[in-house]
Structure 1
Amino acid sequence: MDLQQLIQLKHKGLSNRKVAEALGLSRNTVNSYVRAFSQHELSYQQLEALSEAELAGLFPQADAKDQGRYEQLAGYFPTFAKELRKTGCTLQTLWRSYLADHPDGYRYTQFVHHFNAWKDTTKASGILRHQAGRKLFMDFAGKTLSYVDRDTGEIRRAQVFVALLPCSQYTYVQATASQKREDLVRAVTDGLDWLGGVPNALVADNMKAVVAKGHKYAPVINKTLKDLALHYGCVVDPTRPYHPQDKALVEGAVRLVYQRIFYPLANQTFFSLEELNKAIRELLGPYNDYRFHNRPTTRRQQFLEIEQPALDPLPPAPYQLRHYRRAKVQKISHIYLGTDKNYYSVPHRYVGRHVEVQLAADVVEIFYGGERIAHHRRSRTAGKYTTIGAHMPSTHQVYNDWNPKWFARRAAAVGPYTESYIRRLIGQYDYPEIGYKQAQGILALTKQYPPERVEAACHRAAQGHRAGYRIVANILKNNLDQTRDPELPLENHIPDHSNIRGGNHYK
């Protein structure tokens, strides 16, 4: 994702230095990729069209060893800064001491470069001149609003998301159910839609919904937020931990939100989150039309004149939240999705491989090695098999020992009725692989019951109009295989009870 964002930013015309700052990379790293782009003679537009797997083949990933080496060095910087205040201490002396402990460390020129870059970023902050369209500051207010659940009468607390463009101080506010990732993503997408454009960077603090792993110098952004930023063509830039001054403007905006939105809503009652947000939107207009006390202008005027033209256009469709899962491709050429309790097909050559599953509201995408290998409409029906015929192996092909003949041979060892029933079970599906798991389940019943009982249960179940594992399992569970009652115990069969009135009562 970092490489794709690098290509996006270069396509927008940003310098290597600006790209390095936006992504938190070394300028030398960005320079090396730009040189590689020119060597491959591909335009940035062509590079943006490449898949993740194709990009990985063209450009090697950043050297993890070098990143670890930098983090190791960066841990010494505060100590070095203190030592340099002592008489006679020089960078050369500190470098020799560092190299003695780490013989494979940076050479002197790189050592000085990294230290000076760190020192420049830690200078005392002065008056910040924010560039139009560069950043969107985001935060959650410390206080909450509330609404009444119409069904239960329970008072529910609502978190309040605040976003601000620092150049114009144009502000967006939205109530959310929580500060979880799903609600944050919805608030960000709604906010960008309200602004009508996208800044170069989304700046948030180190909240769990944004940062997967905190770090003073190189925090790890969670995959969902990276995917969101990639969709909108921007980057996520978390602030330093315990440094609220990094986004002081939004901290100040939260105080104004308390005065101009929280207070007017204090004596009103709302019965849903939607009603609450509608009232907030009505107050946002006056909020952004307040005149600055020290300038003859408003946030809206500044936004329309300066900030809005500098924003990048929105993509054609809003971002859809994705969830990420890992799964193993089963012998039936499907993966099991525990979230919805159903199955999706994958090309059979990936049987036994671990894949990444990405879930959106309406779509399930399956990836292997960064390449998408399957795409399905999402189903919410538990137990359903969503299958693409091209994914299935030939039914005449012996594939991982699972095929109709293999199951028939195993069933014949139990008895002729079991063999006939399993042949029928597998044959009733367009893709026999879908019946394999149920057939395996019937054969596994011989571990709980004697084979002659499983044979009798299959004989009894054969009277039904459709074959299935649960029919056989219910017959054995209720000991119906040991009775002579010809009545078929279907899966949803209701046995007779003395307290249930018969048909004679309704004549």
Structure 2
Amino acid sequence: MVNYREILRLHSLAYTQRQIASSVHSSRNTISEVLRLAESIGLSWPLEDSVTNQEIMVLLYPEKLNAVNPRKAPDYSYIHKELAKPGVNLTLLWTEYCSGCNASGRQPYMYTQFCDNYRKWARLTKATMRIQHKPGEAMQVDWAGSTLTYQDPVTGDVYDTYIFAAVLPCSCYAYAEACEDMKSTNWLLCHVHAYEYFGGVTRLLIPDNLKTGVVKNTRYDTVLNQSYQEMAEHYGTAVVPARVLHPKDKSLAEGTVKFATTWIIAALRNRKFFSFEEVKQAVAEKLEDLNKRPFKKREGNRRTAYYDEEKAFMKPLPVTPYEPAVWSTVKVPLDYLISDGKNKYSVPFDLIGEEVNIRLTRNFVEIFFHGSRVASHKRISRQQRDPIIQPEHMPMEHRKYLSYNADEFLRWAHTAGESTTAVVKHFLTAGSEPEQGYKSCASLTKLGDRYGLKRLENACHRVLEYTSKPAIRNISTILKNGQDKLPPNGNAAPEKVLPVSHGITRGAAYFRRGGRQS
């Protein structure tokens, strides 16, 4: 039998066909034919020690096998390409293979041998296995256990940075990024940056069971963090957390994290950093080196494998990237204001005492009640003293109070009449500042709402007839007693309207008799 292994080995060492023919004692035509057929099916050195010449001959000359074997040899190259398509598996392809054999009168392989032969073909040709990992199928993510540090050049304080890693299992294409913490915002942003780096989205997203992504993951129920679920919906991917205590569910992510630990974190162990930006830049540079590092057992690297075999199967990115949002639940206090940690924002006052959901993004604060958005504010990045309040969220009394100003009170008084206007002007000018008279003006407006502007005008006119310093108490008493309804010449008793002067009112006769009259 021709020594196919030796031919491939010597060819990999750049021997000429004449030299190979002399060494293996075969003709140069045989050597040329073997090398041509091996190149056509992607077979190259090195090969595993368990691979025999018989197995190589079956790959190179399937027609010879068919001459003595009544079973039809499958087209493994075709099977490999078809497995890359969504929804296609070996069971479907074996069924189609059997149908083709029956149509041509040939005997097919049984399913087990069919699968074993494909695996052997993929192992010999170093083809990416399609059985477990299809292109564009999943992205696995995790945090690295080790950290990088940097030192503040001013204070001398040392800070940790954390490495996020994502990997596409089919091509092993990786993404890594340095973060200042492992909180929810950075966790979500790293996913956004990973999708942008890959230039597409996978059908599935496989994280570990960390709290920033998964609230609960049991045999019967999986509850995702609301922000994580929102991000997945934005990109059209499905989150399938790895099972608890089943690291093989994301073995490539675990392996990539270890690989990143070696070729990124360990490679930078002796380098001194003095800012987070320096760490982030160094990690990005090492990531490129990692993806361009040649494979040991097959040609190419992670980047070429991705663009050759997986890029075409990735889902397109959405038009706009996802903006990370943090959700929380609070009970609306009596002042109907909620906080984003820096500033306070209003919600409708009728939700006082109710639990609402708050969605915080970089630019907006949104409040939801029973799934419906009830308020939205533009988020203020700097801290300010006054809360951000929308007038429609306030009760009518509070809304009126905010609208208090001298011009507004005077404008309202003109609608009532000249006497009311004179009283309002007195209230606004009686103190050192107009604001000191706002309370009296507000009380006057309430009297106008209660008794009507016409009666209020009459009451103000009567008060101004006997005093130049009207008071709310005087006007209120006139309205309660109905004195504003008396004609101008009526028996109005000014004494009964609380006079301004509080001198002696009992008369001289009382004191001449030396006491109270009997």
TM-score, reference length from structure 1: 0.52
Does 2:359 match 1:358?
Answer: yes
Amino acid at match of 1:366: I
The answer for unaligned runs of 5 or more in structure 2 is 1-84, 90-128, 410-427, 438-518
Aligned residue pairs total: 297
Return closer, same or farther for 1:290/1:149 CA change in 2, 3 Å cut-off.
Answer: same
1:367 corresponding residue in structure 2: 368
1:384 corresponding residue in structure 2: 386
1:133 corresponding residue in structure 2: 136
SS at match of 2:145: coil
Amino acid at match of 1:298: N
- Pick from 404, 417, 421: which aligns with 1:427? 404
Contact 2:152 2:158 in 1 (8 A): yes
Contact 2:406 2:434 in 1 (8 A): no
SS at match of 2:146: coil
2:205 corresponding residue in structure 1: 202
SS at match of 2:273: coil
How far apart, CA to CA, are the structure 2 residues paired with 1:234 and 1:200? 5
Matches within 5 A, 1:7-18: none
1:229 corresponding residue in structure 2: 232
Report the alpha carbon displacement of residue 353 of structure 1 after superposing the two structures with TM.
4.3
Contact 2:184 2:326 in 1 (8 A): no
Report the alpha carbon displacement of residue 128 of structure 1 after superposing the two structures with TM.
5.0
Report the alpha carbon displacement of residue 298 of structure 1 after superposing the two structures with TM.
1.3
How far apart, CA to CA, are the structure 2 residues paired with 1:273 and 1:203? 28
How far apart, CA to CA, are the structure 1 residues paired with 2:431 and 2:355? 38
Contact 1:174 1:187 in 2 (8 A): yes
How far apart, CA to CA, are the structure 2 residues paired with 1:153 and 1:302? 44
1:311 corresponding residue in structure 2: 314
Return closer, same or farther for 1:329/1:209 CA change in 2, 3 Å cut-off.
Answer: closer
CA root-mean-square deviation: 3.9
2:344 corresponding residue in structure 1: 342
Matches within 5 A, 1:109-124: none
SS at match of 2:272: coil
Amino acid at match of 2:362: A
Report the alpha carbon displacement of residue 403 of structure 1 after superposing the two structures with TM.
5.7
Percentage of pairs with the same residue: 31
Question: Deviation digits for residues 266-298 of structure 1, max 9, x if unmatched?
Answer: 221112222111111112222111222111121
Question: Deviation digits for residues 126-175 of structure 1, max 9, x if unmatched?
Answer: 99521111111111122211111234212212121111000110001111
Q: Which has the higher contact order (CA 8 A, sep 6+)?
A: 1
Report the alpha carbon displacement of residue 235 of structure 1 after superposing the two structures with TM.
1.9
Report the alpha carbon displacement of residue 213 of structure 1 after superposing the two structures with TM.
2.3
How far apart, CA to CA, are the structure 1 residues paired with 2:316 and 2:408? 46
Contact 1:345 1:386 in 2 (8 A): no
Amino acid at match of 1:359: L
How far apart, CA to CA, are the structure 2 residues paired with 1:363 and 1:158? 28
Contact 2:217 2:241 in 1 (8 A): no
How far apart, CA to CA, are the structure 2 residues paired with 1:375 and 1:431? 29
Question: Deviation digits for residues 282-321 of structure 1, max 9, x if unmatched?
Answer: 1222211122211112111111122222222222332222
Return closer, same or farther for 1:401/1:360 CA change in 2, 3 Å cut-off.
Answer: closer
Does 2:142 match 1:165?
Answer: no
How far apart, CA to CA, are the structure 1 residues paired with 2:407 and 2:338? 19
Return closer, same or farther for 1:242/1:387 CA change in 2, 3 Å cut-off.
Answer: same
Contact 2:147 2:163 in 1 (8 A): yes
How far apart, CA to CA, are the structure 2 residues paired with 1:261 and 1:386? 46
Amino acid at match of 1:335: L
How far apart, CA to CA, are the structure 2 residues paired with 1:351 and 1:366? 13
Return closer, same or farther for 1:187/1:331 CA change in 2, 3 Å cut-off.
Answer: same
Amino acid at match of 2:404: G
Amino acid at match of 2:190: A
SS at match of 1:144: strand
Amino acid at match of 2:141: M
Amino acid at match of 1:323: V
How far apart, CA to CA, are the structure 2 residues paired with 1:462 and 1:343? 34
Return closer, same or farther for 1:167/1:363 CA change in 2, 3 Å cut-off.
Answer: same
Q: Which of structure 1's runs of 4+ aligned residues deviate more than 6 A?
A: 14-18, 429-432
Contact 1:198 1:314 in 2 (8 A): yes
Return closer, same or farther for 1:352/1:178 CA change in 2, 3 Å cut-off.
Answer: closer
Question: Deviation digits for residues 392-422 of structure 1, max 9, x if unmatched?
Answer: 57xxxxxx79468xx9xxxxxxxxxxxxxx8
Bigger-Rg structure (1/2): 2
Contact 2:217 2:243 in 1 (8 A): no
The answer for unaligned runs of 5 or more in structure 1 is 1-13, 19-125, 394-399, 408-421, 433-458, 469-507
SS at match of 1:246: helix
Report the alpha carbon displacement of residue 180 of structure 1 after superposing the two structures with TM.
2.2
How far apart, CA to CA, are the structure 1 residues paired with 2:407 and 2:195? 46
- Pick from 132, 143, 146: which aligns with 1:143? 146
